[in-house]
């Protein structure tokens, strides 16, 4: 056992989404959930339970040893099948990241996974432009206003069709 900095093999990700959180007064007896595929650093493993510090949560958890898999973090990213999100720190298939523009190194993807980006979008207050893009115009019409207009024109069309037919 070497001392000092952690070896790359100490990096792990969790195949499960549940474990026992370390709290101020010890390990919680309650099984709790975290984000599946969370990446962390292995602090210990007795063969049954692994102790992992989950980066995304900045918390230490006890997780079943069988559900903890070593990950070579140098073999993650745009050039590899999997990549780690910069917000939730989950190891996810690169498909989980929105493609970004190409750079000189080739295809790159956003550093934040889609679920985290959705969270950001939800939290962000909507700008006037964003609201306009959603409603498709400068002024928001009264609820039902557009619908009524199209209903009316349909009625008129029908009436004129019916009149033409008779």
Q: Near Zn ion by CB under 5 A, which window of 23-31, 64-72, 107-115, 144-152? A: 107-115
Shortest reach from residue 77's CB to Zn ion, in Å = 14
* 43 CB neighbour count, 10 Å cutoff: 16
**First-to-last C-alpha distance (Å) of the chain:** 95
CA distance linking residue 68 with residue 45, whole number of Å: 10
Q: Near Zn ion by CB under 5 A, which window of 57-65, 80-88, 130-138, 153-161? A: 80-88
Q: Near Zn ion by CB under 5 A, which window of 11-19, 74-82, 116-124, 144-152? A: 116-124
Residue closest to Zn ion, measured at CB: 85
**CB of 14 or CB of 113, closer to Zn ion:** 113
Restricted to residues 46-75, the positions that interact with Zn ion (CB under 5 A) are none
Strands (E) in 96-145, as ranges, are 97-99, 109-113
Instruction: Please report, to the nearest 10 degrees, the dihedral formed by the alpha carbons of residues 17, 67, 93, 72 taken in order.
Output: 130
Using rule CB under 5 A, residue 14 touches Zn ion: no
Nearest to 32 by CA among 54, 13, 1, 2: 54
Using rule CB under 5 A, residue 87 touches Zn ion: yes
Using rule CB under 5 A, residue 113 touches Zn ion: yes
Binding residues for Zn ion (CB under 5 A):
85, 87-88, 113, 116
């Amino acid at each position: 056992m070497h001392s000092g900095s952690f070896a790359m093999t100490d990096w792990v990700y969790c195949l499960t989404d549940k474990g026992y959180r370390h709290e101020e007064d010890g390990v919680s007896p309650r099984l709790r959930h975290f984000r599946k595929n969370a990446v962390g650093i292995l602090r210990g493993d007795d063969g049954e339970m692994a102790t992992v510090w989950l980066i995304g949560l900045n918390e230490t958890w006890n997780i079943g040893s069988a559900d903890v898999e070593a990950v070579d973090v140098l073999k993650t990213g745009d050039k590899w099948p999997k990549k780690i999100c910069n917000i939730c720190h989950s190891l996810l298939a690169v498909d989980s990241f929105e493609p970004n523009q190409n750079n000189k190194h080739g295809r790159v993807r956003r550093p934040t996974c889609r679920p985290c980006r959705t969270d950001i979008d939800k939290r962000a207050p909507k700008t006037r432009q964003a609201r306009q893009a959603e409603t498709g115009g400068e002024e928001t019409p009264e609820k039902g206003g557009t619908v009524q207009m199209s209903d009316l024109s349909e009625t008129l069309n029908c009436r004129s069709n019916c009149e033409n037919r008779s």
